[in-house]
Amino acid sequence: MGAHDAVHPDQAHAAVMAASDGHGADVVLEMSGVPSAVHQAFALARPAGRVNMLGIPSRTIDIDFATEIIFKGLTIYGVVGRRMYDTWHQMSRFVRSGAFDPTPVITHRLPLEAVDEAMHLIKSGEAGKIIFTIG
């Protein structure tokens, strides 16, 4: 999909520090809501950096506000929505122009009637993106 580096979460700290001369990331996007990833997002941000929280945790997460946020001077943004129609139109232009190819993340093509199977695949982590066919 065009990433410069792809690393296992256990390697993220070393990779970010190497890429930032030891300072940390200016901006971290946390998209999973997994407690360990939330803590990792705070750790990977540089002092006075920004963490955008997009993931929805399935349970309450204990956070050490003093050491993880306050003493680092982090700015935390909670992202609760998007400019839905703007992003749809923009993405449609990207796909039509060939500037973005979504096919590498499509893992399954299923008939619309197989929605229960699709939900199982998504919840089990076995699917990336599923395309439904109609007819």
Q: Same structural domain for residues 105 and 58?
A: no
Domain span at residue 108 reads: 84-133
Distance of alpha carbon 44 from alpha carbon 29, whole angstroms: 10
Distance of alpha carbon 21 from alpha carbon 15, whole angstroms: 10
Taking only the tens place, the pLDDT of each residue in 9-34 is 999 999 999 999 999 999 999 999 99
Taking only the tens place, the pLDDT of each residue in 49-93 is 999 999 999 999 999 999 999 999 999 999 876 666 777 888 899
Overall pTM surpassing 0.85 (yes/no):
no
Q: Same structural domain for residues 65 and 35?
A: yes
End residue of a domain, out of 78, 95, 123: 78
Q: Is 2 domain-assigned?
A: no
